[in-house]
């Protein structure tokens, strides 16, 4: 019984209810970070609709962005600023996102 419970709990920990966009930069004054933040802040509604949570990490020697899907897999990495078109195009092509769009009112 304990094994079944462990498997059940592990299975549900694998999936998240959000996609995570990790942004790595040297500091909050990093020019790439500031440009990326401006782009993302311009469409908070689009990020919310797509269940995107933004996590910022400072102290990195290089600028980098990673998008993690709800299944826990890395879906996109970039060492340059992402456009919303690239980000949303990647997300909207995901099977889970396609299913979500079918359920939208």
**CA nearest to 25, candidates 72, 65, 82:** 65
Domains of the chain from N-terminus onward: 17-103 (3.40.30.10)
How far are the Cα atoms of 23, 25, 39, 66, 90 from residue 30, in angstroms, in the given order?
11, 6, 14, 17, 25
Residues contacting residue 88 through CB under 8 Å, at least 6 positions apart: 46, 50
- Per-residue pLDDT 10s for the chain (105 aa) are 655 545 545 444 455 799 999 999 999 999 999 999 999 999 999 999 999 999 999 999 999 999 999 999 999 999 999 999 999 999 999 988 888 878 876
């Amino acid at each position: 019984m304990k094994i079944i419970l462990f498997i059940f709990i592990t299975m549900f920990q694998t999936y998240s209810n959000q996609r995570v966009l990790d942004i790595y930069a040297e500091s909050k004054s990093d020019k790439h970070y500031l440009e990326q933040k401006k782009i993302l802040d311009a469409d908070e509604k689009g990020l919310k609709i797509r269940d995107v949570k933004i996590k910022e990490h400072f102290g990195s020697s290089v600028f980098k962005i990673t998008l993690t899907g709800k299944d826990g897999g890395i879906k996109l990495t970039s060492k340059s600023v992402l456009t919303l078109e690239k980000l949303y195009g990647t997300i909207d092509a995901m099977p889970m996102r396609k299913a979500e769009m079918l359920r939208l009112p």
